[in-house]
Amino acid sequence: MSVLTPEPNDQPHLLLACSECDLVSAVVCDQDDQWHACPRCHHPLLRPARSDQATPALAFTALILLLLSLAFPYLGFEKSGVERTVTVAGAANELALHQHPLLSAIVLATIVVIPALYLIAVCWIHLSLMQAWRLPGALFLARWLPRLQPWMMADVFAIAALVSLIKIIGMAHIQLLSAFWTFAGYALLLLVTVTRMNTIALWQRLLGTLRQPARSRPGLTALKQRLIGCAWCGQLQPLGHHHCQRCNSALHDRHPFSLQRVWALLVTALLCCFPAHLYPIMVTSSLGQSDPATIIGGVLLFVDHGDWPIALIIFAASVLIPFGKILAIGWLCLATRRRRVLDMAGQMKLYRITEWVGRWSMIDVFVVAIIVGLFQLGNILTITPGFGGLAFSGVVIFTMLAAHQFDPRLIWDQQQRLAHVGQRMEELK
């Protein structure tokens, strides 16, 4: 297997181990405006370090917009002379009032609590960087920032609001209220803040430049050099330590029992698929009559009304993506044992798509939260959440956990072993 070695140069450089394929690369560190990608698997090693004053300012503005979104009504509607408005927290509260406190907690955590903690942490760390001394908790928060990132879903909620509007536009007169716009602004600024964060550069500012172990060199995997790279701060260090000597995060040369954990999470996700599709996701009650609707039932209703685009979005988010994700992660687990040379660019593409796409399946859960929050009109029309929604959020969470637990370095290790065996066979001929 060929390994690209970076050109030698006189500029100061960092040695970083790729967290997806373990190859050690030299990154020239005075080219601040450039992305640096791993030469073997093209995983971004270092993001451009943009103006650091702008990042906390964006995070602070996003926090203010979040507070405004919580304080004012989000959507309003009028049906049969009855007017009603709903706030973001009110929608989550209605789920809790209808015997689904866990679903309510999941919605609030992913769209409000985790993003708020992330934004506060970004502001606190940057405030600490402006002081002559380090503020308490700055290192702890820096360790947690990248771990919180996958669980922030404000952008998914904003898209879910648009899907809900299309779903209910024929049932009532809908108004977009002030919090709708502030929430969209908050979701956008949160996204911009996340894309500007450069974890390795942040640790450099907090703790100074990375120290390179004496025997490290680019072009070989860290494991081959008896080294291990910290996935969070980038520090290369000798094997044998359980915690990073620089940032104190847990270190794994390969995630322990990675495949067993992934299979267990995939089976749990698959088991959740049954109640998610068999039980109703919401129940509509009007004038004494109850009408439960499953996920597939909702898709078919859109097809009946001729709303093909929205039927396709819900079908993709609720059926194709979760099942496709379970199959894709299962395939990647098997790839770590395959005894033939694989197209590694294809495997890595599959792994990254699987990681990126998972959270978008939460659209359906958020749509339920918004519709349940709005339609509480007593006997005229009341919509309550069904058990299917909670089971479906279980599918999304367990497949996301499985994707995060999977260690793609295991596929590279297997391919490297095969290449080594092939080389030995050639020599023996």
Contact status: 352 vs Zn ion (CB under 5 A): no
Contact status: 38 vs Zn ion (CB under 5 A): yes
Nearest approach, Cβ of residue 158 and Zn ion (Å):
33
Among 244, 311, 367, 390, binds Zn ion (CB under 5 A): 244
Contact status: 168 vs Zn ion (CB under 5 A): no
Nearest approach, Cβ of residue 99 and Zn ion (Å):
44
For residue 253, the SS3 value is coil
Residues 97-136, mask of contacts with Zn ion (x by CB under 5 A): ----------------------------------------
Contact status: 43 vs Zn ion (CB under 5 A): yes
Among 59, 230, 272, 282, binds Zn ion (CB under 5 A): 230
List the interface residues with Zn ion, window 249-268 (CB under 5 A): 249
Contact status: 236 vs Zn ion (CB under 5 A): no
CA distance 107 to 101: 10
Nearest approach, Cβ of residue 327 and Zn ion (Å):
24
Three-class SS of 227-261: EEECCCCCCEEECCCCECCCCCCECCCCCCCHHHH
Closer by beta carbon to Zn ion, 249 or else 382: 249
Nearest approach, Cβ of residue 247 and Zn ion (Å):
3
Query: Number of residues in contact with Zn ion, rule: CB under 5 A?
Result: 15
Closer by beta carbon to Zn ion, 84 or else 205: 205
CA distance 179 to 88: 8
The backbone region for 386, taken as left when phi is positive above 0, alpha when psi lies in -120 to 50, beta otherwise, is: beta
Residue 293's CB: how many other CB atoms inside 10 A? 19
Among 246, 325, 359, 409, binds Zn ion (CB under 5 A): 246
C-alpha distances in Å from residue 173, one per residue of 168, 288, 337, 368:
9, 23, 57, 18
For residue 287, the SS3 value is coil
Kindly give, in sequence order, each residue whose CB lies less than 8 Å from that of residue 285, ignoring residues fewer than 6 positions away: 291, 381, 382, 383, 384
Among 233, 262, 319, 332, binds Zn ion (CB under 5 A): 233
Closer by beta carbon to Zn ion, 188 or else 207: 207
Which residues in 34-49 are b (16+ Cβ under 10 Å) and which e? eebebbbbebebbbeb
Closer by beta carbon to Zn ion, 327 or else 353: 353
CA distance 373 to 93: 8
Closer by beta carbon to Zn ion, 20 or else 355: 20
- Asked whether the beta carbons of 302 and 310 are under 8 A apart, the reply is yes
Closer by beta carbon to Zn ion, 6 or else 101: 6
Nearest approach, Cβ of residue 18 and Zn ion (Å):
3
CA distance 279 to 295: 9
Among 95, 187, 194, 247, binds Zn ion (CB under 5 A): 247
- Tally of CA atoms within 13 A in the half-sphere of 115 that contains its CB: 31
Contact status: 348 vs Zn ion (CB under 5 A): no
For residue 322, the SS3 value is helix
List the interface residues with Zn ion, window 9-28 (CB under 5 A): 18, 20-21
CA distance 16 to 282: 49
Write out the residues near Zn ion by the rule CB under 5 A.
18, 20-21, 38, 40-41, 43, 230, 232-233, 235, 244, 246-247, 249
